[in-house]
Amino acid sequence: SILHPKIHRAFQQDRAPAPVRHPTVMMVNPIPGKGSKELAQLMALRPDWHYRVVAGGYGTSDITALTTTASATGASLELIAKQVPPHELAQLYATSTVLIQPSYHESYGMVALEARTVGTPVVVTDLPGVHEALSGFSDGVEYIPAPPTVKELHNAVQRFLDGSIHA
């Protein structure tokens, strides 16, 4: 597949998909417009899943709601509250079961493209910029309607875990 020229070379390496023992659901830049509320709701609904959140990117991350939800529900939350170099970010994607990006608006969908490039399935909202970013992938992408709901987000992640969607 052809990659966007700004994709760092760390994302272009072949990686084996992460084994699904205990699902790891990843999100990058948990701000309200990117679906941080839906992530907190998903954590409350499925505290048995592990959540990996990289909160060191652009904007003000909504980590208080996530840490509060994790504490209240017993959900496992791996919070990375710093900017992560590309080679480390590629490894975080590659060792995650699925990346979620339940954005309300998205100009391109670089995070989803990076994750999919290393072989990690993605659940994303059905937005034009995301479609453009992921147009080179025939599988491993599940679109949910915008604005996202926790039910649609949960069901899409669960379809990857059940194997009913090819990753």
pLDDT of 25 above 70: yes
> Which pLDDT tens digit goes with each residue over 136-145?
998 999 999 9
pLDDT of residue 11: 57
The two structure tokens encoding residue 155:
């069901």
pTM of the predicted protein model: 0.86
| pLDDT tens-digit map of 93-138 | 999 999 999 999 999 999 999 999 999 999 999 999 999 999 999 8
Please provide residue 138's backbone torsions phi and psi, each rounded to the nearest 5 degrees.
Answer: -90, -15
SS3 of the chain: helix, strand, coil, percent, to 5: 40, 15, 45
- Provide the pLDDT for residue 13: 53
pLDDT of residue 19: 43
- Burial classification of residue 125, based on how many CB atoms lie within 10 Å of its CB (0-12 exposed, 13-18 middle, 19 or more buried): buried
Which helix (H) or strand (E) is 77 found in, with range?
A: strand 76-80
pLDDT band for position 17 (cuts 50, 70, 90): very low
Question: In 3-state terms, what secondary structure has residue 67?
Answer: helix
Running DSSP on this structure, what letter comes out for residue 134? T
Residue the block writes with tokens 């948990």:
30
* Diameter over CA atoms, the chain: 44
Whether residue 16 is predicted with pLDDT greater than 60 in this model: the reply is no
Average pLDDT over residues 31-47: 95
Average pLDDT, the chain: 88
Percent over 70 (pLDDT), the chain: 84
Peptide bond into 147 cis (omega under 30): yes
The pLDDT of 74-86, averaged and rounded, is 93
CA separation for the pair 154, 141 (Å, rounded): 14
